[in-house]
Amino acid sequence: MQSTWQDFARRNRTENDFDARSRIVVIGGGFSGAFWDTHRYRVAPQTERAAQNKLADGSLTVLAASLHAAAPSDGKINVTLRPRWSNPAQPMQLAVDAIIVTTGPAHGKITSQMPVLASLATQGVLRADPLGLGIAVDPLGRTIGTDGQSHPRLYVAGPLAREQYGELMGMPQVAGQASAVASEITRLLAAANVAPVSGLHAAHGG
């Protein structure tokens, strides 16, 4: 999947290639949606075993639903859920002790929601990618500014570079791309006769 995506990205970003990647984003959830995540990634055996034990003893219930409302009440949180595939007129009410948000960052809005990235975007040295997956980068991982040019000293490693690399959430893919970025930075430092900092690694964008 990653090699096919990168092939689309390499072919001069033609309209047809962009449309193909856009369709993958819509169907696959943008390499970050629930459909893609649940079909692409495997849970760790220890986590699966713990979950199966909880399901067996009745202390864990799995429910696919969207959260429509939440309000504190007498030390609890009253939530209104709409179970998936249910009648919209029949929401479910629950009183819970806590809500844990595990959706991750909104990658499509990352350049406006994170102050550091918002500042860099305002300066024109980076921009959000057109598919809403993170930050626009070139094949070397360098940010692409508002002028369409790659920044010579600003790199992105990790999931925020997915628009260029495709699937970039699994540890093998993240490690490989981060290693390539670190190697490129090391090459630039060597060319400039600058000794790299011991243990230097590329920053991981997530």
- The count of structural domains within the chain is 2
Which neighbouring-strand residues pair with 157? 204
Judged by average pLDDT, the poorest of 22-31, 62-71, 143-152, 173-182 is 22-31
* pLDDT above 90 coverage of the chain, percent: 43
Range of the structural domain that residue 161 is part of: 2-37+105-191
Residues 109 and 99 in one domain: no
* In-domain check, residue 96: yes
Residues 32 and 69 in one domain: no
Residue 96 CA to residue 155 CA, distance in Å, equals: 43
* In-domain check, residue 56: no
Residues 86 and 110 in one domain: no
Residues 124 and 182 in one domain: yes
Residues 142 and 83 in one domain: no
Please state, in angstroms and as integers, the Cα–Cα distance from residue 143 to each residue in 61, 96, 132, 198, following that order: 43, 43, 15, 24
Tens of pLDDT, residue by residue over 63-107, are: 888 888 999 999 999 999 988 877 766 889 999 999 988 776 777
